[in-house]
Chain A
Amino acid sequence: MDAHPYAFLALFAAIAVAFPVILLSVAQLWFRFFQPAKPSADKGAAYECGVTPTGDSWIQFKAHYYLYAILFLIFDVELLFLLPFAVAFTGLSAGALATMLVFIFLLAEGLVWAWHRGHLEWK
């Protein structure tokens, strides 16, 4: 009998469900039978990176850096299109050059706008 072409998806789904369930139940069984309960303040604390956390985790933090992430996109996208443009430069028409200049102008205007509005200064 031929298997359905998408049968492997069902297999993957079954493994994806079974894997965490088995691991978690083994851990639960281990805890039930072998591990003595020794609660402490450090053990109950929120896990950050292994070091004992200092202060509360419910703090306000500065989300200002998202602007830098967006500005980074300007350069990133520019690079993505400039590299093939530079490679193929000798074989391109004048129209392609004009198109590319318009593209760079649009990205540059975004950068100039952010600069003038003071988004590059860390406040």
Chain B
Amino acid sequence: MNLDYAGLFHALRPETSLVVGALIILGLDLSIFRRHTPVERLNLALWIGALAVLAAAAHVWFAPEGPVFGGVLILDKLAMATRLGVLGLTLLTFGVASAAPAPRNPAEQVAIILFATTGFLLMAAAQQLLLAFLALELASLSLYVLAGFDKTRPESAEAALKYFLFGGMAAAFLLFGFSLIYGLTGSIELPQIAGQLFHVTLSPLLVVALVMVLVAFGFKAAAAPFHLWAPDVYEGAPTSSAALIASASKLAGFTLFARLFWREFGAVAGSVSSAHGEPGWLPAVAVIAAVSMLIGNFGALAQSNVRRLLAYSAIAHAGNLLLGVIAAGDAGPAPFYYYAATYGLATVGAFGVIAVAERAGPCQKITDLAGLHRRSPLLAGCLAVFVLSLAGIPPLAGFFGKFTVFSAALQMGGLAGPAGWLAMLAIALSALALYYYLVILKQALVAKPAPDAAPIAVPAIAKLALVLAAGLIVLFGVNPSLLLGLF
């Protein structure tokens, strides 16, 4: 096998920019900026990190398409779109981090966010089981550390431990599934595996392998019944870490697993477009999607903590996204990519609002947001955009995301099969979801502020990030082809 190291390095320039940026941040923080205050060190690290992300984005934009290093990586349109989306969401996460109080090790936080982003970028392009696993682990290990980054709060340690234990278990399942696939097909390259699986029937061993990989997918997507970590992690992790876990990690995870399932297991997909269907992984994904939608939406109704509410909303959205993955066989990856990217924007924005509101006092309960329109009209306005986009109100991006995913699912076979029924269920539950989203907005826009509540000063960078996120949501909602045109 002729290995082209120069080509590999050429293709990995975005990842290299991120890692070099992280090393520069660590080096400067150790040498020149040792004596500065944590806030100064955080700001410096964030600026260098933002430069590294922008450099990576430029490299992604100009990267040539095609397989890299004998097909270990594939740089196609989905990979490019996901990489750009992940980098944009990371940039917004930096905005969230600038609004949050500086942690004890600010440079390390930014460096680890960059390492996680490197993992996301590799996940977006991986076309080989080994690289897919390594990229997933690089991202996951960084996220575990980030979840426990606030050493002063026990909740943060609890979130990190829960996330780590669930994640380690999911990684073990994934590795076991991969090893069975390798045993069945004798290859770790997705195209070769797909070629081998074309000739085999759905043997019990293959079913076990599929289920193992599905478990890991369910964990990464926070889909029920693998969702138990999500509410605790969203509640306990530092706000910027929660924002990264909820947005960029989701987008990269969905791209990785959609590629894995359609590219590799396409021959054993089965069918959910007619009432009888065919056995395969599609019916299993459909069941997970339905359970996620039900548990997510009904669980969110009972929440009084705004972060846990966002976590249950994430579970519900994971159900809709899985519907998008199901529809990706006919409609291509564009619908679920659009949904995941715009959902990420809205979540990062919502966590950004929480991070800024936390500067003036605790922001855990929904009632902590009471009277936000008096305390900071800008924050309340941005929050309204993010929450309404999550709820799917036109003309915001969340509406078009739901529209394109549901219409793609309905085109698979109309109401004759489970795909259509799932879409109808999702539409009905979206109406239900409006209730708990409006509960947040009622507190923020209608309720009177607490008598001792002070006005909230929004730092300039956070203001820029929030307005940018809100603007992008409106822009992508009004003109969806800006994102769909990437495909």
Q: Which of A44-52, A73-81, A108-116 sits within the interface?
A: A108-116
- Write the nearest CB–CB distance from B4 to chain A, whole angstroms: 12
Q: Is A95 an interface residue (CB 8 A)?
A: yes
Q: Is B23 an interface residue (CB 8 A)?
A: yes
> Mask for A91-116, Cβ within 8 A of B = 1, else 0?
00001000100000010010011001
Q: Is B5 an interface residue (CB 8 A)?
A: yes
Which residues from chain B contact A113 at a C-beta distance below 8 Å? 26, 30
If the complex has contacts A112-B30, A113-B30, are A95 and B23 also in contact, measured as CB distance less than 8 A?
A: no
Q: Determine whether the beta carbon of B5 is less than 8 Å from that of A116.
A: no
Which residues from chain B contact A106 at a C-beta distance below 8 Å? 23
- Write the nearest CB–CB distance from A13 to chain B, whole angstroms: 18
- CA–CA, A83 and B428, complex, Å: 63
Q: Determine whether the beta carbon of A95 is less than 8 Å from that of B27.
A: no
Q: Chain A: how many interface residues by the 8 Å CB criterion?
A: 7
- CA–CA, A116 and B31, complex, Å: 9
- CA–CA, A116 and B108, complex, Å: 13
- Specify which of B5, B26, B34 is in contact with A95 (CB 8 Å cutoff): B5
Q: Determine whether the beta carbon of A109 is less than 8 Å from that of B23.
A: yes
- CA–CA, A113 and B23, complex, Å: 10
- CA–CA, A116 and B28, complex, Å: 12
Q: Determine whether the beta carbon of B5 is less than 8 Å from that of A109.
A: no
- CA–CA, A95 and B8, complex, Å: 13
- CA–CA, A108 and B90, complex, Å: 28
- CA–CA, A109 and B19, complex, Å: 13
- CA–CA, A6 and B23, complex, Å: 50
- Write the nearest CB–CB distance from A36 to chain B, whole angstroms: 46
Which residues from chain A contact B30 at a C-beta distance below 8 Å? 112-113, 116
- CA–CA, A113 and B34, complex, Å: 12
- CA–CA, A122 and B34, complex, Å: 21
- CA–CA, A24 and B424, complex, Å: 59
Which residues from chain B contact A112 at a C-beta distance below 8 Å? 30
- CA–CA, A116 and B27, complex, Å: 10
- CA–CA, A112 and B30, complex, Å: 9
- CA–CA, A113 and B26, complex, Å: 8
- CA–CA, A19 and B259, complex, Å: 47
User: Which residues 1-37 of B have a CB within 8 angstroms of A?
Assistant: 5, 23, 26-27, 30, 34
User: Which residues 19-75 of A have a CB within 8 angstroms of B?
Assistant: none
> Mask for B25-66, Cβ within 8 A of A = 1, else 0?
011001000100000000000000000000000000000000
- CA–CA, A116 and B26, complex, Å: 11
Which residues from chain A contact B23 at a C-beta distance below 8 Å? 106, 109
- Write the nearest CB–CB distance from A112 to chain B, whole angstroms: 7
- Write the nearest CB–CB distance from B58 to chain A, whole angstroms: 22
- CA–CA, A109 and B25, complex, Å: 12
Closest residue on chain B to residue A109 by CB atoms: B23
- Write the nearest CB–CB distance from A25 to chain B, whole angstroms: 34
- Write the nearest CB–CB distance from B106 to chain A, whole angstroms: 13
User: Which residues 60-114 of B have a CB within 8 angstroms of A?
Assistant: none
- Write the nearest CB–CB distance from B112 to chain A, whole angstroms: 12
Which residues from chain B contact A109 at a C-beta distance below 8 Å? 23, 26-27
Residues of A within 8 A of B (CB): 95, 99, 106, 109, 112-113, 116
Residues of B within 8 A of A (CB): 5, 23, 26-27, 30, 34
Given contacts A113-B26, A113-B30, A116-B30, 8 further A-B contacts (CB under 8 A): A95-B5, A99-B5, A106-B23, A109-B23, A109-B26, A109-B27, A112-B30, A116-B34
11 contacts between A and B (CB under 8 A): A95-B5, A99-B5, A106-B23, A109-B23, A109-B26, A109-B27, A112-B30, A113-B26, A113-B30, A116-B30, A116-B34
3 shortest interchain CB distances as A-B pairs: A116-B30, A113-B26, A109-B23
